[in-house]
Chain A
Amino acid sequence: MKYLHLVWAALVRRRTRTLFTLLSVVAAFLLFGLLDSVHSAFNVAAHDVAGVDRMVTVAKVSFTMQLPKSLLGRIQTVPGVSEVTYANWFGGIYQDTKNFFPNEAVAPNFLDLYPEWVLSPEQRKAFRETRTGAIVGAHLAQHFGWKLGDKIPLQATIYPQKGGGNTWTFDLVGIYHVKDPKLVNQEDLLFFNWDYFDEARQFGNGQVGWYITRVADTGQANRVAQAIDAISFDSDHETKTQSEQAFNVGFVSQFADIGLIVGAIMGAVFFTLILLTGNTMAQAVRERIPEIGVLKTVGFSNRSVLALVLAEAAAVLLLGAAIGLALAGLVVSAVRLKMGGAFPLDPVGWEIWLQGLILALLVGLVVGALPALRGMRLRIVDALSGR
């Protein structure tokens, strides 16, 4: 630590060069932060620890197909099932298709299975008792400026009403929050009462989109899933039951292999970054050879010289990474505020920071290694004569 001023002196020796290198590093880590935020938004569903005991039952042929509501009673009697609920995808549009957010018709006990969504008891009671009531996530409400008591009209894309009307108007009676900041994307949904939905829709009555089951013992999950699927085996509504995580992983993988795309871009970015900073470091050490000779003359060991150069490289990378990640955090919160749930982005949390800083340290050590070794191996006579 007492050599910190030496590292600093080396960095400000050529200010413009350090500044430009730093800005390249900032650009690289800004990109890293943004891409990691997209990646983890697609991935968080897969690692959603809150739902380990939940299973999803959909029609085996495809989850776009409906299932009869009569399955409810039969699933409830499967040993090992502690609670069952159901929901329908509604796919309504608020004002414009650009304002996409998921909206679903849910059973009265739906929220019981999702304890991570917090709704006050009064609002919950109001939701149960208001036929045309709806609840939304806090982030969505903030995005559209909705307050309790507002009427929210949705244009149906799938289900017209019995009279042929296409506009469903809901009364906002509750706003739920999500405890875990990682699940904040789940605040971008709207739920309304399934009973009202089923009564008012023109067709499909008595059918549900999917069942959610809570198992008493997660160790028994596979057996329970098989038992549920056995109920409708060989019927015209065969089901497929899997854990909520497995379902989410499968769903996300249908969009694209996000991991592959992000990985490829990051590969290109960091390859260039290593080349660029590596070249700068080599240059910086080359210029200072006589100075390194002086350091060694006054008694700095080979190892200290090595450490000094490595520290210099790591300092640039770490500082650049910190600025880049902070910028990424700002950009992500701005985009989330403006676009709402339309684009999946995770806040830049401590995991992304940790990954980014570790990566920065690694890159710093890699690009510092060759110049540092060169500095370490210099002989004093050669160095002083600038050879």
Chain B
Amino acid sequence: MWGKIGVALLMLLVIVLAVVLLVLCPWWMLLGFVVLLALWLALTRTGRQTWSVTQVGLATIPQRLGAASVVILGIAGVVGVLVAMLAMAVGFEATLRQTGDDSTVIAMRAGSQTELNSVVDHDTAELIAQQPQVLRDAKGQPIASPELVVVASLPKKSNGLDANVEIRGVGEHAWELHPNVRISAGRRFTPGLRELIVGKGARTQFAGLDPNSTLRLNGQSWTVVGEFESGDAHDSELWADADVVGSAYRRGSSTASVTVRLTSPQALAALKASLAADPRLQVDAKTTRDYYNAQSENLANLIRILGTVVGAIMAVGAVFGALNSMYAAVAARAREIATLRAIGFRGLPVIVSVLIETMLLALVGGAIGACVAWLIFNNYTASTLGANFSQVVFDFKVSPALMWSGLKWALAIGFVGGLFPAVRAARIAVTEGLREL
């Protein structure tokens, strides 16, 4: 009785240790472990015994294809769902992390979390642009762009329902402040006219944004004159002249934010101090990188937690599936295993061989799941509601790192699912096993 409990506790400990190790360890450590295992299998006496038992086990897989496919497909399902969910988080995060840099600073009204909520009046914008830490161009003008963010509701291509698209009104220096943005079709808008250029992502998601089409906003008509590409969050936006957007949206000369280029990234602290010291100003300043990074944090974390929870519950189900299949496999081979034990094989080769077999099946399942996720979801374009209450278009990213962590999950499930049947196999009483049909 106590022996049984002791074994159970020991196995629990082994499982916890192994799973933690497996999830934490980097690829080179795992590779080293596989090499060590291969050496052991090839060079030692016990290792060679293990290898021959494993070969018999693998050879009988075709006879129990149903049970083997339960292990493989069960694990493929877990890994596929996990990788797809995490790819969504990674893709969303990547889009926002690529936006902004350390040498440009965005200033908004104190307390506003996003540009949509912020109002900066014309005088404040001027004061910010005139700070000594702001870089000036060849003509001595500060490189600053007062920008206005408003939202328009347009029908989406996918379901015809209206969704929000962000319109960013920008100043003349915007092109220098957002160097990623380049025109990929048509031309730039002309300042002072009701002309728009559309981001590539926005154009793929919304209907009626092709160049030369017209758009009615607030009873006025706007012309789309070009398309731009930036590879970051601005791809989901429509750009126009800030003054024209301001008058169309009854915002007067106020804007939502001011973006400026610093003389050097180190000047940030000085700029912040100088803005805080001016009693006329109530603004928060941060680098554009920080501003966009913060926007991705909440949603990406939420998706990650959800993905991991769903994956973990599915993994529990898959573990029990694997346990069933491997117990059945061991039971079917009881006689053979007992024979091996009778002619002098020890328990260890039997345990290791069952484990190797299960983990190989798991690996196949994990690889199938990761590949299916990659095939279907890599670069799959989706959009969701971002911080400015408008659609942010992003691509799922099934990165090699994600596929690798999917494989590690698969191996962990295989290990847990294989360990108990393996120990059972090693503990079959020889006399009973030989009598099994």
Q: Is the CB of A65 within 8 A of B150?
A: yes
Report the minimal beta-carbon distance from B351 to chain A, rounded to whole angstroms: 18
Chain B minimum-CB-distance residue to A158: B117
Tell yes or no: B347 within 8 A of A by CB: no
Q: Is the CB of B117 within 8 A of A91?
A: yes
Q: Which residues of A contact B42 (CB under 8 A)?
A: none
Distance A280 CA – B322 CA, assembled complex (angstroms): 11
Question: Per-residue 0/1 for A23-54: is the Cβ within 8 Å of any B Cβ (1 yes, 0 no)?
Answer: 11001101100110000000000000000000
Q: Is the CB of A157 within 8 A of B112?
A: yes
Tell yes or no: A62 within 8 A of B by CB: yes
Q: Is the CB of A63 within 8 A of B385?
A: no
Chain A minimum-CB-distance residue to B76: A272
Question: Per-residue 0/1 for A245-264: is the Cβ within 8 Å of any B Cβ (1 yes, 0 no)?
Answer: 00001100111110000001
Q: Is the CB of A97 within 8 A of B113?
A: yes
Contacting chain A: which of B45-53, B128-136, B285-293, B309-317?
B309-317
Q: Which residues of A contact B185 (CB under 8 A)?
A: none
Which among A60, A156, A264, A272 is the interface contact of B153 at CB below 8 angstroms? Answer: A60
A61-B153, A64-B151 in contact; A275/B69 too (CB < 8 A)?
yes
Contacting chain B: which of A75-83, A113-121, A210-218, A230-238?
A230-238
Tell yes or no: B249 within 8 A of A by CB: yes
Distance A63 CA – B116 CA, assembled complex (angstroms): 12
Report the minimal beta-carbon distance from A104 to chain B, rounded to whole angstroms: 15
Tell yes or no: A203 within 8 A of B by CB: yes
Tell yes or no: A268 within 8 A of B by CB: yes
Chain A minimum-CB-distance residue to B328: A283
Tell yes or no: A273 within 8 A of B by CB: yes
Which among B150, B220, B323, B384 is the interface contact of A62 at CB below 8 angstroms? Answer: B150
Contacting chain A: which of B19-27, B94-102, B156-164?
B156-164
Report the minimal beta-carbon distance from A274 to chain B, rounded to whole angstroms: 10
In A280-327, which residues have CB < 8 Å from any B CB?
Answer: 280, 282-283
Contacting chain B: which of A13-21, A183-191, A220-228?
A13-21
Q: Is the CB of B324 within 8 A of A17?
A: yes
Q: Is the CB of A27 within 8 A of B316?
A: yes
Report the minimal beta-carbon distance from A171 to chain B, rounded to whole angstroms: 22
A157-B117, A236-B250, A256-B382 in contact; A279/B111 too (CB < 8 A)?
no
Distance A253 CA – B384 CA, assembled complex (angstroms): 9
Q: Is the CB of A280 within 8 A of B324?
A: yes
Q: Is the CB of B73 within 8 A of A21?
A: no
In B145-191, which residues have CB < 8 Å from any A CB?
Answer: 150-153, 158-159, 161-164
Distance A20 CA – B309 CA, assembled complex (angstroms): 20
Distance A65 CA – B384 CA, assembled complex (angstroms): 20
Report the minimal beta-carbon distance from A60 to chain B, rounded to whole angstroms: 7
Tell yes or no: A12 within 8 A of B by CB: no
Tell yes or no: B413 within 8 A of A by CB: no
* Most B-side CB within 10 Å, residue of A16, A21, A61, A91: A61
Q: Which residues of B contact A20 (CB under 8 A)?
A: 320-321, 323-324, 327
Chain A minimum-CB-distance residue to B384: A256
A60-B153, A254-B391 in contact; A155/B317 too (CB < 8 A)?
no
Q: Is the CB of B67 within 8 A of A283?
A: yes
Distance A164 CA – B119 CA, assembled complex (angstroms): 13
* Most B-side CB within 10 Å, residue of A91, A156, A158, A264: A158
Q: Is the CB of A235 within 8 A of B219?
A: yes
Chain A minimum-CB-distance residue to B305: A343
Tell yes or no: B202 within 8 A of A by CB: no
Distance A238 CA – B248 CA, assembled complex (angstroms): 12
Q: Is the CB of B314 within 8 A of A155?
A: no
Q: Which residues of A contact B382 (CB under 8 A)?
A: 256
Q: Is the CB of B67 within 8 A of A23?
A: no
Tell yes or no: A265 within 8 A of B by CB: yes
Distance A65 CA – B310 CA, assembled complex (angstroms): 38
Tell yes or no: B70 within 8 A of A by CB: yes
Distance A160 CA – B109 CA, assembled complex (angstroms): 10
Tell yes or no: B44 within 8 A of A by CB: no
Q: Which residues of A contact B77 (CB under 8 A)?
A: 268-269, 271-272
Q: Which residues of A contact B112 (CB under 8 A)?
A: 157-158
Report the minimal beta-carbon distance from A41 to chain B, rounded to whole angstroms: 13
Report the minimal beta-carbon distance from B354 to chain A, rounded to whole angstroms: 16
Distance A31 CA – B309 CA, assembled complex (angstroms): 9
Chain B minimum-CB-distance residue to A207: B250
Report the minimal beta-carbon distance from B343 to chain A, rounded to whole angstroms: 28
Which among A155, A236, A255, A268 is the interface contact of B80 at CB below 8 angstroms? Answer: A268
Tell yes or no: B218 within 8 A of A by CB: yes
Tell yes or no: A276 within 8 A of B by CB: yes
Distance A60 CA – B151 CA, assembled complex (angstroms): 11
Tell yes or no: A123 within 8 A of B by CB: no
Report the minimal beta-carbon distance from B244 to chain A, rounded to whole angstroms: 13
Distance A106 CA – B282 CA, assembled complex (angstroms): 28
Pull 27 A–B residue pairs with CB atoms less than 8 Å apart, ordered by A: A21-B320, A23-B316, A23-B320, A24-B317, A31-B313, A61-B249, A62-B151, A65-B150, A156-B111, A157-B113, A157-B114, A166-B111, A236-B218, A237-B250, A240-B153, A250-B163, A253-B161, A254-B163, A254-B385, A256-B384, A257-B158, A268-B81, A272-B73, A279-B66, A279-B324, A282-B66, A283-B66
What are the nearest 10 A-B pairs in CB distance?
Answer: A27-B317, A62-B151, A272-B77, A20-B320, A276-B321, A24-B320, A24-B317, A158-B117, A62-B153, A166-B111
Q: Give me the interface of A with B, judged by CB distance under 8 Å.
A: 16-17, 20-21, 23-24, 27-28, 30-31, 34-35, 60-65, 91, 97, 155-158, 160, 164, 166, 203, 234-238, 240, 249-250, 253-257, 264-265, 268-269, 271-273, 275-276, 279-280, 282-283, 343
Q: Give me the interface of B with A, judged by CB distance under 8 Å.
A: 66-67, 69-70, 73-74, 77, 80-81, 84, 109-114, 116-117, 119, 150-153, 158-159, 161-164, 217-220, 248-250, 282, 298, 302, 309-310, 313-314, 316-318, 320-321, 323-325, 327-328, 382, 384-385, 389, 391
A17-B327, A282-B66 known; 4 new pairs, CB 8 Å cut-off, are: A20-B323, A61-B218, A61-B249, A236-B218
